[in-house]
Structure 1
Amino acid sequence: MPLHPQLQAIVDAAAALPPMETVLPATLRAGYEAQTARLARPDVGHVEDRMIPGPRGDVRIRIYRPDMQDGHAVVTYFHGSAFVICSIDTHDVICRHLCLVLNAVVVSVDYGLAPEAPFPAGPDDCEAATIWTAENATSIGGDPARLIVAGDSAGATMATVVARRLRDAGGPNLAAQFLIYPVTDYPDPAPASYQERGQGCGLTASAMCWGWDLYIRNQEDRFHPDASPLRVADLSGLPPAYVITAEYDLLRDEGKAYAARLLQAGVDTALVHYDDMNHGFMGMVGVVDRADQAMIAASGWLATKI
C-alpha cells in the first residue's frame, strides 16, 4: 500500500529542508515548535502548566483535564524526540485529542533532552513524573488506581522503561501502556526497516543515529535495558500494552519485535500496524484522517483496561 497521500505531501514538502543531523538542536526545537503552533487545538476542560520536583531539578509538566469532574483515568505522556528535539508544546495537539477521546486526565512531561541531558536523564525524569502523577492524581481530577503511561517514538521508549522500573519497584501499579512507534533498540545491527524506510519517508536513518549519538555518551550504555528495552531479559508482569507501528517507518521492525517479546512474556498486548502511515503520523491527529481513526481505536482499547 502506498504512503497515504496526505502524508506524502508532507514528506515531499520536508524534502527541501536541510537534514536534521546538520542543524543545531536549539534551531530544530524552535522550528518544530513554530510548525506545530499552526495546528488547530481542540478545546479541553482545563489546561495547566506546573513545575514538579525531578532528579536533576524541576520538571515542567502540562495537565489536561477533559472537565472539572473527579475520578478520571490518568495518562502520563512522554513526547517523541529522537532523544533531542520536541517538547510538551510540539505535542500539545496529540495530548488534547487523547484527553478528549479517552476522557482522561493527561499529564504531559517535558523530560530532559540530549545533548544537554543525555542518558539516563530522560528515563529518570519520566519515572519521577509518573510517580508524582500517581501520588497527586486525586488533586488533578484523576483516579490513582487507573494510571497509564504513554508516548510516541523516543517517548514510547520512556514509557516502556517507566513501566518496567515500576514493576521492579512494586508500584505504583499501571493499568496499561500505550506505545506509539516505539524506539526499542540501539541500531547495531540495524533492522531491515532502517534500509527499507530510512530515506524518503520522513524520519531518516541518519537522523535517528544522530539522535542516538547525542543521547548515549558512554558506549557501554547502548544496550542498557533503560536505553534499549528490547534487550531486557524479563518482560513478564508488565501492564497491558497497545503498540502502534507504521509501514513507512524505520522503527517498524523494532516496534513489532518488542510487541512480540511482550506477547511471549505473557503480557496482554495489541499490535496495530498501519500499512499506509509513516513515523510521526499520530502527530497529525485532527489533520490526517487515519491518525484520527488510530486515536479512536487506541482509546477504545485503553478504555477496556481502566
Structure 2
Amino acid sequence: MSREIGALGGDTTRMAVGGDSAGGNLSAVLANELPGTFALQALMYPATDLTHPFPPYEENGEGLLLTKDALTWFQGHYLDGTGADLKDPRVSPLYAETATLAAAPAALVITAGYDPLRDEGEAYAQRLRDAGVAVEHVNYDGQVYLFFSMPAAIPDARDATERVAAALRGAWA
C-alpha cells in the first residue's frame, strides 16, 4: 500500500484511518491488519464486538436512533450469511491478539453515553491501552449515536471534531 501511495506522490508517513460505527470497525480492522501503515486511528463509536455482550446494547437499544433491530439488520448485511465467527478479529477487532494490538497506531476513541456501542468502544480503547498503545478515549455522556455528524447543531460534536483534527495534527507533527 505504501508503494502505491508513494507512486502517486502521497506522503506515506502522514496516513490515518478513521470512521464511525461500522466505519470505526473497518478502520480498527485495517489498523490491525496493516501494522506500521497508519499514524493514527480515529474511531467514533466503533463497533468492535459484534457479539454485543455489553449492557448499553440492551439499555440504549430502543428509541435512540440506533436500535438493536437496526444493529441486527446492519450486521446481517455486513456478514451476508458468511457464517463468520463473531469473535474473529477481522469482524470484531476487540478480539485481536495483544501482540496485534500492540503494533496498532495511536488511537482516538470517541463514544457516546446513550449509544448501544458505547461500552465496546470503551473496551477497545482499554485493550489498546493495555497493549501499550497511546490512546485518548473521550465519552460524551449526554450524546447519542451519530452525534459526531452534527457539528453545526451539537456543541459536543464540534468539540469531537476539533479533537480529531488535533489528534491528526499531533500524529503528523
Question: Fold-level match, TM-score > 0.5?
Answer: yes
Corresponding residue for 2:5? 136
| Structure with greater contact order relative to length (CA < 8 Å, sep ≥ 6) | 2
- Gapped regions of structure 1 (runs ≥ 5): 1-130
**Match of residue 40, structure 2, among 176, 201, 205:** 176
Tell me the alpha carbon deviations over residues 39-94 of structure 1, each in whole angstroms, 9 at most, x when there is no partner. Answer: xxxxxxxxxxxxxxxxxxxxxxxxxxxxxxxxxxxxxxxxxxxxxxxxxxxxxxxx
Q: Give the letter aligned to residue 25 of structure 2.
A: T
Corresponding residue for 2:71? 208
1:215 CA drift (Å): 2.0
Cα contact 1:135–1:144 (8 A) shared by 2: no
3-state DSSP of counterpart to 2:12: strand
1:135 CA drift (Å): 2.5
Tell me the alpha carbon deviations over residues 253-291 of structure 1, each in whole angstroms, 9 at most, x when there is no partner. Answer: 100000000000000000011011111111112232221
* 1:236 has 2:102 as partner: yes
Q: Give the letter aligned to residue 206 of structure 1.
A: D
3-state DSSP of counterpart to 1:304: helix
CA distance in 2, matches of 1:212, 1:267: 28
Corresponding residue for 1:283? 149
Corresponding residue for 1:195? 58
Tell me the alpha carbon deviations over residues 90-112 of structure 1, each in whole angstroms, 9 at most, x when there is no partner. Answer: xxxxxxxxxxxxxxxxxxxxxxx
1:224 CA drift (Å): 1.4
- Quickly say closer, same or farther: Cα 1:137–1:296, change in 2 above 3 A: farther
Equivalent residue runs for 1:83-102 within 5 Å:
none
Greater Rg over alpha carbons, structure: 1
**Match of residue 116, structure 2, among 250, 265, 284:** 250
1:138 CA drift (Å): 7.3
What is the TM-score of this pair, normalised by structure 2? 0.90
Cα contact 2:45–2:111 (8 A) shared by 1: yes
* 1:155 has 2:58 as partner: no
* 1:297 has 2:166 as partner: no
Tell me the alpha carbon deviations over residues 221-247 of structure 1, each in whole angstroms, 9 at most, x when there is no partner. Answer: 322111011111221111000000000
CA distance in 1, matches of 2:8, 2:152: 30
Cα contact 1:198–1:204 (8 A) shared by 2: yes
**What is the alpha-carbon root mean square deviation over aligned residues?**
1.8
1:211 CA drift (Å): 1.3
1:180 CA drift (Å): 0.5
3-state DSSP of counterpart to 1:305: helix
* 1:226 has 2:90 as partner: yes
Tell me the alpha carbon deviations over residues 101-136 of structure 1, each in whole angstroms, 9 at most, x when there is no partner. Answer: xxxxxxxxxxxxxxxxxxxxxxxxxxxxxx37x733
CA distance in 2, matches of 1:157, 1:137: 26
Aligned residues: 169
Q: Give the letter aligned to residue 32 of structure 2.
A: R
What is the TM-score of this pair, normalised by structure 1? 0.52
Cα contact 2:51–2:87 (8 A) shared by 1: no
- Gapped regions of structure 2 (runs ≥ 5): none
Q: Give the letter aligned to residue 236 of structure 1.
A: A
% identical aligned pairs = 38
- Bigger strand share: 1
